């Protein structure tokens, strides 16, 4: 058996690993024994020589090792087959007959750090975020094809985090049939067109599915404003739930054109609706108070910790405008998908905006990840989607 590189931790720095955290940061490392190239499998030991686990090494990254197992075992096909099968069972139990579009593998949440796989009907979309998973891409494609029997596996490894791993962006067909420009999916009775090759994330915001369905139940007879709407998924659920009027705002003309098609696809053309292209910050300032439900689902404002001050100002501005636009009894669905924006800070920002709006506001609920986006309890960094429901009373 080949001798693997070893990461030796500084004294006392093994505790997070023993508690199940899958990341070893370079600052916790005393030394690395052996030659290491990005993505290579290596071992991690405590200062006292205790074996802690195996994972993917990358000396170029601040996260020098991503733990795959705490056992002394081989990291071959059998290992990855078992992890993929385990992930598949969770989805089959919770999502059967609800949707044909969902996350199959959620990185650290499914104990496969650096790997994202989403399903859109008969197509799987794969993202390798780390050098380690990138090395295993061919084997992973083979195992996914055997487990799920899709018609197509397409790669969308076009995320900025790959540069931190020393990797270039990579997109293209990995397996099976060439995909069309759009794939149609269904979600709790609503139908959507998804652009796998160019759409946000892997084509669609799958992480908001349950939150959209919850909105649907509250929308009957309501006037709804959907900000940062992308292709209008929240609005389609609101419309199918009986919304009286819909207004959609997004900066992308292409996204709004697809949203317009979604009104015909569902069909919801008879509901009065407006699609407004532009900056939501500016457009909201020019609207009048007349909405019963308002959705704020902006892109991440804080991709790094250093961005938090400016991100906080952005979220405050948006939520202040939202409260001013809501009727008495109106509901605000407000979200942050910034990894570095914790629950406490986000809640303080929203409550500060409520105070400055001069309106009396109740906090009535929280929203987050759906079942197919599990989070490893030992890895709180895996939680990024935070949503609050507020009521203007």
My answer on whether 92 and 156 are in the same domain is yes
Side-chain-side CA neighbours of 251 within 13 Å: the count stands at 7
Which residues have a Cβ under 8 Å from the Cβ of 138 and sit 6 or more positions away?
Answer: none
Please check whether residue 201 lies inside any domain of the structure: no
Distances from the Cα of 155 to the Cαs of 73, 117, 158, 229, 380, in angstroms? 29, 9, 9, 25, 27
Q: What is the mean pLDDT of residues 80-86?
A: 97
User: Active-site residue 337, yes or no?
Assistant: yes
In the chain, what percentage of residues exceed pLDDT 70? 99
Q: Tokens 């969308």 appear where?
A: 156
Which residues have a Cβ under 8 Å from the Cβ of 337 and sit 6 or more positions away?
Answer: 207, 297, 298, 299, 300, 384, 385, 386
Among the candidates 131, 154, 176, a domain finishes at: 176
Give the tokens for residue 136: 């295993």
The DSSP-derived string for 7-52 is EEEPTTTTHHHHTT--EEEGGGEEEEES---TT-EEEEE-TT--EE
Measure the CA–CA gap between 327 and 385, rounded to whole angstroms: 26
Question: Taking the mean position of all CA atoms in its chain, how far away is CA 91?
Answer: 16
Please check whether residue 202 lies inside any domain of the structure: no
Please state the length of the chain.
Answer: 393
Q: What is the mean pLDDT of residues 287-294?
A: 96
CATH code for position 276: 3.40.50.150
Coil, helix or strand at residue 191: strand
Which residues have a Cβ under 8 Å from the Cβ of 292 and sit 6 or more positions away?
Answer: 221, 222, 223, 224, 326, 327, 329, 330, 331
Give the tokens for residue 342: 């914790």
> Which listed residue (128, 190, 227, 337) is catalytic?
337
Q: Is 218 in contact with 331 (CB distance < 8 Å)?
A: yes
My answer on whether 215 and 364 are in the same domain is yes
Measure the CA–CA gap between 347 and 228, rounded to whole angstroms: 20
| Total domains in the fold of the chain | 3
- How big is the chain by its Cα radius of gyration, in Å? 23
My answer on whether 243 and 379 are in the same domain is yes
Per-residue pLDDT, 355? 96
Per-residue pLDDT, 340? 85
My answer on whether 108 and 219 are in the same domain is no
pTM over 0.85: yes
Distances from the Cα of 59 to the Cαs of 35, 54, 74, 115, in angstroms? 10, 15, 22, 19
Q: Is 6 in contact with 34 (CB distance < 8 Å)?
A: yes
Give the tokens for residue 26: 């370079």
Per-residue pLDDT, 1? 53
My answer on whether 273 and 364 are in the same domain is yes
Please check whether residue 331 lies inside any domain of the structure: yes
Would you say residue 168 has pLDDT above 70? yes
Range of the domain at 63: 6-69
Per-residue pLDDT, 388? 98
Name the phi and psi angles at 356, rounded to 5. -70, -20
* pLDDT tens digits along 90-121: 998 888 778 999 999 999 999 999 999 999 99
My answer on whether 16 and 101 are in the same domain is no
Measure the CA–CA gap between 110 and 104, rounded to whole angstroms: 9
My answer on whether 150 and 267 are in the same domain is no
Low-confidence winner among 160-164, 221-225, 284-288, 294-298 (lowest mean pLDDT): 160-164
Please check whether residue 341 lies inside any domain of the structure: yes
């Amino acid at each position: 058996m080949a001798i693997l590189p070893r990461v030796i931790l500084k004294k006392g720095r093994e505790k997070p690993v023993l508690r199940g955290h899958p990341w070893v940061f370079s600052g916790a490392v005393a030394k690395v024994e052996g030659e290491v190239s990005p993505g290579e499998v290596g071992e991690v030991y405590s200062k006292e020589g205790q074996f802690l686990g195996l994972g993917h090494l990358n000396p170029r990254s601040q996260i020098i090792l991503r733990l795959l197992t705490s056992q002394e075992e081989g990291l071959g096909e059998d290992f990855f087959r078992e992890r993929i099968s385990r992930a598949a069972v969770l989805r089959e139990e919770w999502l059967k007959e609800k949707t044909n579009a969902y996350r199959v593998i959620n990185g650290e949440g499914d104990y496969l750090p650096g790997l994202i796989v989403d399903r859109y009907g008969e197509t799987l979309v794969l993202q390798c975020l780390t050098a380690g998973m990138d090395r295993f891409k061919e084997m992973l494609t083979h195992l996914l094809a055997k487990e799920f029997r899709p018609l197509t596996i397409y790669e969308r490894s076009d995320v900025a985090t790959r540069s931190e791993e020393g990797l270039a962006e990579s997109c293209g067909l990995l397996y099976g049939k060439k995909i069309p420009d759009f794939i149609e999916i269904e979600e709790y009775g609503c139908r959507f067109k998804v652009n796998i090759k160019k759409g946000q994330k892997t084509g669609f915001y799958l992480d908001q599915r349950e939150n959209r369905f919850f909105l649907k139940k509250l929308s009957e007879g309501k006037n709804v404003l959907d900000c940062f709407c992308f292709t209008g998924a929240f609005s389609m659920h609101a419309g199918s739930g009986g919304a009286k009027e819909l207004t959609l705002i997004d900066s992308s003309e292409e996204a709004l054109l697809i949203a317009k098609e979604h009104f015909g696809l569902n069909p919801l053309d008879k509901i009065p609706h407006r699609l407004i292209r532009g900056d939501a910050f500016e457009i909201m300032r020019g609207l009048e108070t007349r909405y019963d439900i308002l959705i704020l689902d902006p892109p991440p404002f804080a991709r790094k910790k250093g961005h938090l001050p400016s991100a906080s100002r952005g979220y405050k501005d948006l939520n202040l405008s939202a409260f001013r636009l809501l009727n008495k009894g109106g509901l605000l669905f407000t979200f942050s998908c910034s990894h570095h924006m914790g629950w406490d800070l986000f809640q303080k920002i929203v409550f500060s905006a409520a105070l400055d709006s001069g309106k009396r506001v109740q906090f009535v609920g929280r929203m987050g990840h759906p079942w197919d986006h599990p989070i490893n309890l030992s890895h709180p960094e895996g939680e990024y989607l935070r949503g609050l429901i507020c009521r203007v009373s």
